[in-house]
Amino acid sequence: MNTNESLLLNVTYTTKPGKRTAFLKALTQLEVVKKSKQEPGNLKYDYFYPVDSEDQLFLVEIWEDDGALALHAQTEHYQQLQSIKGDYLINASIERFYLRHCQ
């Protein structure tokens, strides 16, 4: 990846029926969003509710580069997120895109 690109991840979490709110509450208690936004190289880290599903949660992440994402995966809050997924999720799918910045 060159310096004129950043990395966009669209993550769709499909929760067990009725578990979406509890999953988001657990993420809040672990301060996953707050801590991720404070990481070097993070440009965006926000969760959204899809309008057509009660059991999905959508995450948009933008990182300066692959290295920033790799460092994110080593953080304690990322590891905590991974450890609670089994309690709340059926599936997580990730779409990965490189964004080219025009000058």
For the stretch 46-70, pLDDT in tens is 999 999 999 999 999 999 999 999 9
pLDDT interval class at 1 (50, 70, 90): low
- The pTM assigned to this predicted structure is 0.91
HEC string for 16-61: CCCCHHHHHHHHHHCCHHHHHHCCCCEEEEEEECCCCCCCEEEEEE
CATH number of the domain within which 85 lies = 3.30.70.100
Q: Is residue 2's pLDDT more than 70?
A: no
Q: In terms of residue numbers, what domain contains 93?
A: 5-100
Beta-carbon contacts of 33 under 8 Å, excluding residues fewer than 6 positions away, are 27, 45, 46, 47
- The number of distinct structural domains making up the chain is 1
